[in-house]
């Protein structure tokens, strides 16, 4: 089920909230209710994978118990077996198609069969959560694995399908009392509405442009001319879309969690304001990058923290894995390599001086990231090449045409709004209002803010009802 | 800090009230629909529950109301496209199919050759009837040329190939241009179909062609609008494009119903996917589908379905008052239904088939039955491989 769907907003969400708070007299009943809610949330969109979902839940509960109860040596074996089972299932389903496809391309110069539809929704995030749960059991970060608690954590619907990746202990830490907390609830609701508006009114609108431009590019310049400006506009729309998609999803997920009394860490923090590529990825998909650092990089480097060669190799491999985790396509491999190159260069201190030069460092970061998005957003490497040629006019394409003006005319407003709010203007304004809460503007804000939130919600619902919502860009299989 | 939370609490309260208002409004406006939805929900078929809920939701007045609101927002923002460029609204108020790609079909010559081949099994000549779509630049000047699907090129190319393989053609763009009727009379704003008047003009063009090229001497009385009753349903129609984008964005159309003022008697049998039906009576009682015209069910949404149901798998219409009339087979799309209805006074029998009906062997049927003429009618959009399986 999508957060940005009417069935979630008007049916599932009110029922889940009501049930959660009506059962506040009994922790056990509430847990059962939330496990059921999480299961319905999952199978609403993926009824065919119900059994796989239940199988994975059972596997991870049993492994969690075994890892904790067995002696350390055998516990490690149990952990390795569990990780291998979780990861290999993910690998087999996701990458079999890519491997056969590549072999067929080499041998017969034609693609093989597509297995992407075999991948259960949310499997990529579920696998990471399951691995971190078992590792945390092994590292004794989880006190004692209980059946209900394990299922509660793994089926917690706000984070079930696309993150943020919150560890078992962090989720426990973030919980307030069992009872209704009006402050968290109201902040959660407004956060959810802002996320919904970001998704429907900005991300999905910009997605229309970027999908169109990437699609036209894929047909080749011999068949369709994409002007230089259209290519740039499409690329900037893609860059903003990808940010707003993940930011909106995080807002909604964190907002729902707040409504249920859970406060968790932020997942996105205005990455386009970063001065280095490393900083960008510390502010974008924070929980995902942190997961790879905590559970992959740490294991690879081990105790040899001073070994530069090992650090470089680990960094390179981690980015390769991050790239591949995003999808079974060579474009993601190249994207991972592209990013790892700059992360490594930044690690070996070449960029220290650059970082001090505000505008130049931002320009450098945006250039690297934006070029990376061309590779990330293309269906094939040849398409990425075609896109680069369109951007630079190497396809003998015109600077602009009717198509460019039409795209800008129709989506210029969404683009401008997206561009302005992808920098930390809103939190700065909020802070100013908090500091100056006796000013007329702050008093006026008391009335304007709720009206603005309701209006955003109203317009988002009108759009959602009429044209639906696109799946989240990270909602991949 | 208190104020910080106060504004959030007010906003959250409003949100909760809106959520509460949804079921109340649904019960007030759509109680029967809600009850039907609840009755239709079968838990044993739980996989279908999301789709079933979606289907029922789209039938509610609240859904339509929200869609109207969406249309008003689009108007306010002066949006010229909606549905991810699928629909482009021009300054003249017409909705067009949008596309950034120029239509291209490398198989047009093959289709033309297949018609030539079909001609060898027919006693009568084959005539390809080619109506223009509403985006035809011959009929209308459009501002956003690149973004609106352009079908003239396909039509031109296919007619050229037919002329090369010596299959006769009738390009209705010529007739429409010379008819003196305005573009607004020929096409709907909210539907891709042409109007009843355009269909009537098409029937007139066919009669003219048969008289001119095949010396038929058909009486122009039946293609004179003066001999028809004209009923106009003002602002009572929203076509398929209008239904998708919402009437508050697309607006409304007039629907014109033409019925003969002279005496008629027809027998019509037709086969659909599920049944075989028969109807007989006058033009109005036999060939008009009242259900698609009924305003009790709301606006007219399927203008093509008013005459001869629009599209069936097989239709046979007999005119007992003119047993010596023409016997015609038409391989066609939906657009030919009203045209066929207006041609009936000249015919003893018209058979309508679709080559998309794979179980029907058209070539064998033509060999078995002696038709005076074989008409093949497809709008440019439907000139595809599926339409030329003979």
Over residues B266-298, the pLDDT tens digits come to 999 999 878 899 999 999 999 998 887 776 656
- Residue A14 sits at the chain B interface (C-beta within 8 Å): yes
What pLDDT sits at residue A177? 66
**Separation CA A126–CA A154 (nearest Å):** 8
Residue of A6, A454, A461 with shortest CB distance to B14: A454
Higher pLDDT, residue B31 or A195: A195
Least confident of A159-173, A237-251, A370-384: A159-173
Average of per-residue pLDDT across A342-348: 85
Average of per-residue pLDDT across B222-245: 92
| Top mean-pLDDT range of A156-165, A319-328, B41-50, B109-118 | B109-118
- Residue B24 sits at the chain A interface (C-beta within 8 Å): no
Least confident of A74-88, A206-220, A362-376, A401-415: A74-88
CB contact under 8 A, B85 and A212: yes
What pLDDT sits at residue A421? 94
- Residue A393 sits at the chain B interface (C-beta within 8 Å): no
- Give which of A182, A146, A167 is closest to A31, Cα–Cα: A146
How distant is the Cα of A340 from the closest Cα of chain B, in angstroms? 35
Six-digit token string for A226? 């994409």
What pLDDT sits at residue B279? 93
Contacts of B59 in chain A (CB under 8 A): none
- Residue B256 sits at the chain A interface (C-beta within 8 Å): no
* A114 confidence band (pLDDT: 50, 70, 90): low
The percentage of residues in chain B with a pLDDT greater than 70, rounded to a whole number, is 94
Average of per-residue pLDDT across B166-173: 95
**Separation CA B154–CA A203 (nearest Å):** 36
* B322 confidence band (pLDDT: 50, 70, 90): very high
CB contact under 8 A, B146 and A224: no
Average of per-residue pLDDT across B52-74: 85
How distant is the Cα of B200 from the closest Cα of chain A, in angstroms? 35
Interface of A with B in 92-111 (CB under 8 A): none
Least confident of A95-109, A272-286, A404-418: A95-109
**Separation CA B273–CA A43 (nearest Å):** 34
What pLDDT sits at residue A178? 67
What pLDDT sits at residue B156? 95
Which residues have a Cβ under 8 Å from the Cβ of B84 and sit 6 or more positions away?
Answer: A208, A211, A212, A467
What pLDDT sits at residue A247? 94
Mean pLDDT value across chain A: 86
Are B207 and B223 in contact, with CB atoms under 8 Å apart?
yes
Over residues A354-406, the pLDDT tens digits come to 767 788 889 999 999 999 999 999 988 999 999 999 999 998 889 998 889 99
- Residue B14 sits at the chain A interface (C-beta within 8 Å): yes
Interface test with B, best of A450, A454, A457, A459 (most B CBs within 10 A): A450
Are B241 and B74 in contact, with CB atoms under 8 Å apart?
no
pLDDT at A477 over 50: no
What pLDDT sits at residue B120? 83
CB contact under 8 A, B11 and A187: no
Average of per-residue pLDDT across A408-412: 93
Residue of A185, A188, A403 with shortest CB distance to B147: A403
Six-digit token string for B319? 């005119």
Q: How many residues does chain B have?
A: 390
**Separation CA A192–CA A207 (nearest Å):** 20
Residue of A45, A450, A466 with shortest CB distance to B67: A466
* A170 confidence band (pLDDT: 50, 70, 90): confident
Six-digit token string for A71? 């002696």
CB contact under 8 A, B70 and A465: yes
**Separation CA A280–CA A239 (nearest Å):** 13
Higher pLDDT, residue A295 or A47: A295
Average of per-residue pLDDT across A297-315: 77
CB contact under 8 A, A465 and B50: no
pTM reported for the whole predicted model? 0.86
What pLDDT sits at residue B57? 82
Residue of B9, B63, B69 with shortest CB distance to A182: B9
Residue of B4, B12, B47 with shortest CB distance to A185: B12
Quick check: ipTM above 0.85?
Answer: no
The percentage of residues in chain A with a pLDDT greater than 70, rounded to a whole number, is 92
Chains A and B form CB pairs within 8 A to the count of 124
Over residues B238-274, the pLDDT tens digits come to 998 988 888 888 889 999 999 999 999 999 999 987 8
Contacts of A223 in chain B (CB under 8 A): 101, 104
List the single residue in B with minimal CA-CA distance to A208: B84
- Alpha-carbon separation of residue A211 from A70, A217, A236, A291, B86 (angstroms): 51, 10, 12, 30, 13
Q: What is the DSSP letter of B288?
A: B
Average of per-residue pLDDT across B234-240: 91
- Residue A9 sits at the chain B interface (C-beta within 8 Å): yes
How distant is the Cα of A11 from the closest Cα of chain B, in angstroms? 9
List the single residue in B with minimal CA-CA distance to A413: B77
Interface of B with A in 69-128 (CB under 8 A): 69-71, 73, 77, 79-85, 100-102, 104
List the single residue in A with minimal CA-CA distance to B9: A186
pLDDT at A142 over 90: no
CB contact under 8 A, A402 and B144: yes
What pLDDT sits at residue B43? 66
Average of per-residue pLDDT across A9-33: 89
CB contact under 8 A, A410 and B53: no
CB contact under 8 A, A465 and B8: no
Burial class of residue B267 (count of CB atoms within 10 Å of its CB; 0-12, 13-18, 19+): middle
Over residues B354-364, the pLDDT tens digits come to 876 667 788 88
pLDDT at A339 over 70: yes
List the single residue in B with minimal CA-CA distance to A461: B66
- Residue A446 sits at the chain B interface (C-beta within 8 Å): yes
Mean pLDDT value across chain B: 88
Interface test with A, best of B1, B2, B5, B8 (most A CBs within 10 A): B8
**Separation CA A63–CA A83 (nearest Å):** 10
Residue of A183, A454, A457 with shortest CB distance to B5: A183
pLDDT at B347 over 90: yes
What pLDDT sits at residue B143? 72
* A430 confidence band (pLDDT: 50, 70, 90): confident
What pLDDT sits at residue A475? 61
What pLDDT sits at residue B358? 64
Least confident of A111-120, B73-82, B179-188: A111-120
Contacts of A190 in chain B (CB under 8 A): 8, 11-12, 15
Distance of CA A76 to the CA centre of its chain: 30
For B28, phi and psi rounded to 5 degrees? -70, -45
What pLDDT sits at residue A436? 84
Contacts of A187 in chain B (CB under 8 A): 5, 8
Over residues B5-42, the pLDDT tens digits come to 788 888 888 888 888 888 787 777 777 766 777 777 66
């Amino acid at each position: 089920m999508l957060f940005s769907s009417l069935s979630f907003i008007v049916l599932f969400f009110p029922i889940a909230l009501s049930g959660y708070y009506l059962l506040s007299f009994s922790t056990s009943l509430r847990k059962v209710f939330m496990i059921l809610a999480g299961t319905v949330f999952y199978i609403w969109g993926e009824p065919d994978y119900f059994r796989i979902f239940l199988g994975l839940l059972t596997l991870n509960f049993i492994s969690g118990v075994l890892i904790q109860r067995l002696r350390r040596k055998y516990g490690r074996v149990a952990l390795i077996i569990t990780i291998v089972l979780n990861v290999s299932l993910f690998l087999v389903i996701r990458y079999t198609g890519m491997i056969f496809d590549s072999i067929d391309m080499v041998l017969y110069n034609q693609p093989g069969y597509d297995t992407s539809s075999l991948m259960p929704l949310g499997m990529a995030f579920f696998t990471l959560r399951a691995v971190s749960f078992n590792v945390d059991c092994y590292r004794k970060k989880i006190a004692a694995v209980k059946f209900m608690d394990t299922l509660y954590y793994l089926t917690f619907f706000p984070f079930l399908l696309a993150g943020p990746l919150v560890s078992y202990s962090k989720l426990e830490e973030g919980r307030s009392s069992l009872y209704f907390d009006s402050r968290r609830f109201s902040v959660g609701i407004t956060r959810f509405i802002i996320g919904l508006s970001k998704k429907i009114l900005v991300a999905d609108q910009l997605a229309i442009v970027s999908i169109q431009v990437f699609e036209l590019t894929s047909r080749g310049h011999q068949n369709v001319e994409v002007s230089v400006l259209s290519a740039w506009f499409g690329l900037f729309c893609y860059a903003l879309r990808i940010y707003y998609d993940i930011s909106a999803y995080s807002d909604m997920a964190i907002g729902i969690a707040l409504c249920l009394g859970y406060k968790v860490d932020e997942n996105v923090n205005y990455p386009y304001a970063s001065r280095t590529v490393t900083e960008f990825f510390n502010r974008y998909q924070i929980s995902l990058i942190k997961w790879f650092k905590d559970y992959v990089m740490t294991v690879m480097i081990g105790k040899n923290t001073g070994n530069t060669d090992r650090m470089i190799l680990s960094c390179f491999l981690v980015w390769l894995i991050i790239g591949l985790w995003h999808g079974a396509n060579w474009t993601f491999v190249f994207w991972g390599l592209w990013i790892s190159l700059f992360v490594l260069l930044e690690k070996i201190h070449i960029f220290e001086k650059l970082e001090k030069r505000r505008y130049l460092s931002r320009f450098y970061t945006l250039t690297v990231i934006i070029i990376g998005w061309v590779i990330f957003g293309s269906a094939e490497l040849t398409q990425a090449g075609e896109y680069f040629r369109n951007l630079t006019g190497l396809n003998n394409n015109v600077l602009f045409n009717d198509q460019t003006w039409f795209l800008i005319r129709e989506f210029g407003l969404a683009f401008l709004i997206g561009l302005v709010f992808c920098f930390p203007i809103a939190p700065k304004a909020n802070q100013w209002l908090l500091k100056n809460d006796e000013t007329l503007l702050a008093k006026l804000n008391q009335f304007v803010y709720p009206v603005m939130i309701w209006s955003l919600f109203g317009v988002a619902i009108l759009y959602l009802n009429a044209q639906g919502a696109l799946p989240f860009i990270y909602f991949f299989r | 800090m208190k104020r910080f939370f106060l504004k959030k609490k007010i906003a959250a309260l409003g949100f909760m009230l809106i959520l509460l208002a949804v079921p109340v409004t649904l019960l007030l406006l759509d109680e029967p629909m809600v009850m039907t939805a609840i009755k239709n929900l079968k838990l044993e078929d739980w996989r279908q529950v999301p789709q079933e809920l979606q289907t029922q939701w789209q039938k509610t007045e609240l859904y339509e109301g929200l869609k109207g609101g969406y249309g008003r927002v689009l108007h306010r923002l002066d949006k010229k496209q909606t549905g991810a460029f699928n629909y482009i609204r021009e300054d003249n108020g017409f909705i067009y199919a949008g596309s950034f790609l120029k239509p291209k079909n490398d198989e047009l010559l093959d289709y033309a050759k297949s018609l030539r081949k079909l001609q060898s099994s027919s006693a009568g000549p084959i005539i390809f009837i080619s109506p223009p779509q509403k985006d035809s630049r011959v009929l209308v000047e459009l501002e956003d040329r690149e973004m609106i699907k352009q079908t003239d090129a396909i039509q031109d190319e296919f007619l050229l190939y037919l002329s090369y393989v010596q299959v006769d053609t009738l390009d209705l763009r010529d007739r429409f241009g010379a008819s003196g009727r305005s573009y607004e009379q020929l096409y709907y704003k909210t539907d891709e179909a042409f109007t009843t008047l355009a269909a009537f003009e098409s029937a007139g063009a066919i009669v003219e062609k048969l008289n001119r090229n095949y010396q038929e001497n058909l009486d122009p009385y039946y293609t004179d609008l003066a001999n028809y009753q004209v009923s106009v349903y003002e602002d009572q129609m929203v076509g398929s494009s209008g239904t998708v984008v919402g009437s508050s964005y697309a607006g409304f159309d007039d629907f014109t119903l033409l019925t003969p003022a002279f005496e008629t008697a027809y027998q019509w049998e037709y086969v659909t996917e599920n049944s075989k039906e028969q109807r007989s009576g006058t033009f109005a009682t036999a060939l008009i589908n009242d259900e698609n015209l009924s305003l009790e069910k709301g606006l007219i949404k399927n203008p093509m379905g008013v005459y001869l149901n629009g599209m069936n798998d097989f239709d046979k219409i007999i005119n007992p008052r003119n047993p010596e009339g023409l016997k015609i087979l038409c391989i066609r799309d939906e657009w030919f239904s009203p045209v066929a209805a207006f041609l009936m006074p000249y015919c003893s029998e018209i058979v309508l088939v679709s080559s998309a009906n794979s179980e029907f062997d058209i070539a064998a049927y033509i060999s078995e039955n002696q038709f005076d003429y074989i008409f093949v009618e497809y709008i440019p959009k439907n000139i595809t491989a599926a339409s030329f399986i003979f």
